[in-house]
Structure 1
């Protein structure tokens, strides 16, 4: 139940962040909005880290550089979401992002990327993706 709650909060905050970034970008530009968002996210995470006093940094040197670049992906995410929201609106953007996320997770699971165990995708998973795509088409028109 806790995982579902955090997933729900994460999804809600991704949407709120996308809308806020779209508004910021109208005044200062899209890459500027991405930079501001990344900076404020860093400050917020750092302050929370100081409050919870979690100081486990010893394993940082064991982390592969590719994984350390994960934060840089956020700049592309922010730019892409802001641009999409400005062109097609929040609902279509979020719907399309969810489909993209699921397709990428299918690839990651089936290929065993990032050291994860390979998962076999069955017909129900593909039907689910097809239904989501159909839903986006219905939302669009």
Structure 2
């Protein structure tokens, strides 16, 4: 249950962050908004880490270099979301992002990429993704 609550909270916060970034972008520019978001995110994460202390810096050496690029991807994600929200609105942006996430996670789960346990995809999963895509098309009409 906690996982569902965290997922819902995360989804809501991603949407709020996207809207805030789009507003900042209108005043100072997209890459500047992405930079501010990354900086404030780093400061917040560092403060939480210093308070919670749930890990050790020494474990950083165990992280594969490919996975460290996640932060760099965040800058591109922020820029993409800002640009999309300005051009197609919040609802369409979030819908398209969800479809992209579902598609990539579907590929990762079905192939076992990145070391995740391979999942067998069945008809209900295909129907679910089809319904999501249909929903976004209907939103855009």
TM-score (norm 1): 0.97
Give the match for residue 86 of structure 1: 86
Q: CA RMSD in A?
A: 0.9
Give the match for residue 13 of structure 2: 13
Q: Gaps spanning 5+ residues in structure 1: where?
A: none
**SS of aligned partner of 1:74:** helix
**Runs ≥4 residues deviating over 4 A:** none
The Cα of 1:58 is off from its aligned counterpart by: 2.3
1:11-61 superposed Cα distances (whole Å, 9 cap, x missing partner): 000000000000001111101110110000000111111111334222211
1:42-86 superposed Cα distances (whole Å, 9 cap, x missing partner): 001111111113342222111110001111110111000000000
Give the match for residue 57 of structure 1: 57
Give the match for residue 135 of structure 1: 135
Q: Does 1:125 align with 2:125?
A: yes
1:71-111 superposed Cα distances (whole Å, 9 cap, x missing partner): 11101110000000000100010011001000000111111
Q: Gaps spanning 5+ residues in structure 2: where?
A: none
Between 70-79 and 110-119, the greater mean CA deviation after superposition: 110-119
**SS of aligned partner of 2:118:** coil
Q: In structure 2, what is the Cα distance between the partners aligned to 1:66 and 1:125?
A: 29
Go from structure 1 to structure 2 and tell me whether the alpha carbon gap of 1:106 and 1:55 turns closer, same or farther (over 3 Å shift): closer
Residue correspondences, number: 141
Give the match for residue 97 of structure 1: 97
